[in-house]
Copies of this chain bind each other. A is one copy, B any other.
Amino acid sequence: MTLNTKEKIFYTALDLFSKKGFSGVSIREITREVGIKESSLYNHFANKDEILESILTYFRSDFSKTLPPIEMLDAILQKSTVEEFLKAGHRNFKQFMEDENRVKMWRILQIEQFRSPLAREVILEDLFKTTIHFLEIVFQKLIDLNKIRPYNPKTLAIEYQYPVFSLLTEYTILKFDGKDTSEVETRLDNHIDFFLEIVTIK
């Protein structure tokens, strides 16, 4: 786990940007932390913007690996109950967000969303759109399998996922102050239970 200089710059910038925002962090601050002179940073990144860009791009490709590929869905959905499937997804996502670097990237997205068109694109396309599209397919398949009630699959996707996003916002803020997050986690469990109660055919 020894990092080369470029990686050190990357993770130091990730940490600082996520606390103070891009404009609130100077090249000097980053290089001081890394232990090199300001000028040396430019051997690794063309300029300050490129550091942020590399962070956002990294998050993009990282996040794209979290959802299972759609061609594997049929196999998965047939052999598990709705409850098992949703709770497994929940565990996956929780695990994904337990990596503190991912939490930092999430924070940067929030902070930079109005300064960086790329950040906005990642939020709208990669987080919202991709997730909702994936879930829409899942729920359509579950309806076809007669495992859940035939509500509009897109509505179901939104009803399921959007509370999760808000809970994540709350979770991230609490975590930032080192506060207790157990209540938010309970709420997330309650949300999943409530959703299951609504859609399950009894």
Of all chain B residues, which has the CB nearest A119? B173
- B-facing mask of A143-180, CB < 8 A → 1, else 0? 00000000110010011001101110110011011000
Tell me if A111 counts as interface (CB < 8 A to partner B).
yes
Q: Is the CB of A187 within 8 A of B173?
A: no
Q: Is the CB of A21 within 8 A of B111?
A: yes
- Residues of chain B within 8 A (CB-CB) of A177 are 117, 120
Count of interface residues, chain A, beta-carbon cutoff 8 Å: 40
Tell me if A128 counts as interface (CB < 8 A to partner B).
yes
Q: Is the CB of B158 within 8 A of A165?
A: no
- B-facing mask of A94-117, CB < 8 A → 1, else 0? 000000000000010011111101
Of all chain B residues, which has the CB nearest A177? B120
Tell me if A124 counts as interface (CB < 8 A to partner B).
yes
Tell me if A93 counts as interface (CB < 8 A to partner B).
no
Q: Is the CB of A114 within 8 A of B166?
A: no
Q: Is the CB of A170 within 8 A of B24?
A: no
- Residues of chain B within 8 A (CB-CB) of A24 are 21-23, 115
